[in-house]
A = this chain, B = another copy of it.
Amino acid sequence: MNEFDLIGRYFARPARTALLGVGDDCALLPSPPPGEVLAVSVDMLVEGRHFFAGSDPRALGHKTLAVNLSDLAAMGASPAWFTLALALPGADAAWLAAFSGGLFALADTAGIELVGGDTTRGPLTMSVQVAGHVPAGGALRRDGARAGDDVWVSGHLGAAAMAVQHRAGGIVLTDEMLAVCAARLDWPEPRLALGLSLRAHATAALDVSDGLVGDLAHICEQSNLGADVDWLSVPVDPVLQTLPEAARQRAALSGGDDYELCFTAAPSARSAIDALSDELGLPLTRVGIMRPGKDVTVRDAAGHPLDTRQGGFDHFSPS
């Protein structure tokens, strides 16, 4: 058995919904249900850029799929299938078992099927492409926000960014804080159920991967609006409560890696969204309002704008 066969062993599973799965030139997939269209997204994670060398392979398997499922959630799409392209420095059985274990555990939870892949030798790099189904005309796009809409955020923000800073050596967290922050960074939970429910309420949505301010700016840009955010309303992760306010602001507003959803909705949807929060057991918090203009302004308790020029996490910035 050569190393290629070895790798195939960890990823080959019988086709479930696919008409033809892994092992031919192409996989064959059934069309979306009548009235629905295909939503697709792709991400690439590179060692040393998106995760540290020596990261737990089980968590990597989870995260490489989770960040893509998060894009489906942000679109209001239901997961259907995905492909995996993987470059590995070598074929390590224990690493592959753990990586594929983390990947498939999440795939099974989310109800999504691996239908094709490519493995090669190279610097550790994972690229997943996901596809989901969404009613034609019912997707949660970035360009649908209206002036006067509320801006909402799911869950809590900032913990993942603190784990990044700790691992990069910029700060030292207590063991208790690190455990919570690292779990948020390494095991993000795609908000799939929320995305499906928001089809009925949200006017625009995206996932917070690069920081709330930078990501909300994408909704502003594509909806030709501006946004005012109230800093005191932002759901900063409780684990950060002992940190200085500047650190909390930086982590929660421009830290990245949260994979929560940010969405806009008409004020008339407030009670329905509050009820949805209870139903899902997931905090949904109003943090601001869409208004005419451009750009995102975050105001402190006194109503003064915060300096958020550092913006989101730019993969090509000299960080």
- CA A85 to CA B316, docked complex, whole Å: 15
Partner of A46 from the list B2, B121, B141 (CB cut-off 8 Å) is B121
Residues of B within 8 A of A119 (CB): 315
Asked if A31 lies at the interface with its beta carbon under 8 angstroms from chain B, I say yes
> B315 near A75 (CB under 8 angstroms)?
no
How many residues on the A side are at the interface (Cβ–Cβ under 8 A)?
A: 71
Q: A25-B207, A26-B75 are in contact. Are A44 and B134 (CB under 8 A)?
A: no
Binds B, one of A35-43, A230-238, A244-252, A282-290: A35-43
Asked if A171 lies at the interface with its beta carbon under 8 angstroms from chain B, I say no
Q: A20-B141, A44-B86 are in contact. Are A121 and B316 (CB under 8 A)?
A: yes
**Chain B: which residue is nearest A315 at the CB level?**
B120
Partner of A27 from the list B26, B39, B315 (CB cut-off 8 Å) is B39
- CA A120 to CA B120, docked complex, whole Å: 19
Asked if A183 lies at the interface with its beta carbon under 8 angstroms from chain B, I say no
> B132 near A129 (CB under 8 angstroms)?
no
Give this chain's copy count: 2
Asked if A278 lies at the interface with its beta carbon under 8 angstroms from chain B, I say no
Central interface residue in A24, A39, A129, by most chain B CB within 10 Å: A24
Asked if A49 lies at the interface with its beta carbon under 8 angstroms from chain B, I say yes
> B4 near A314 (CB under 8 angstroms)?
yes
**Chain B: which residue is nearest A7 at the CB level?**
B316
Q: List 13 A-B contacts (CB under 8 A).
A: A2-B317, A7-B316, A25-B142, A26-B40, A27-B41, A29-B38, A31-B31, A40-B81, A42-B84, A42-B85, A42-B127, A85-B85, A90-B316
- CA A142 to CA B143, docked complex, whole Å: 44
Chain A 19-63 residues near chain B, CB threshold 8 A: 19-20, 23-32, 36-44, 46, 48-50
Partner of A44 from the list B37, B48, B85 (CB cut-off 8 Å) is B85
Residues of B within 8 A of A42 (CB): 83-85, 116-118, 127, 129
Chain A 67-83 residues near chain B, CB threshold 8 A: 71-72, 74-75, 77, 81, 83
Residues of B within 8 A of A303 (CB): none
Chain A 116-170 residues near chain B, CB threshold 8 A: 116-123, 125, 127, 129, 131-132, 134, 136, 139-143
**Chain B: which residue is nearest A74 at the CB level?**
B25
Known contacts A25-B71, A40-B116, A43-B118; 20 additional CB pairs below 8 A are A3-B314, A4-B316, A19-B37, A20-B141, A24-B206, A25-B41, A25-B205, A25-B207, A26-B39, A26-B77, A31-B38, A40-B81, A44-B85, A46-B87, A46-B123, A49-B87, A49-B120, A87-B125, A90-B316, A123-B123
- CA A90 to CA B120, docked complex, whole Å: 22
Asked if A91 lies at the interface with its beta carbon under 8 angstroms from chain B, I say yes
- CA A145 to CA B91, docked complex, whole Å: 32
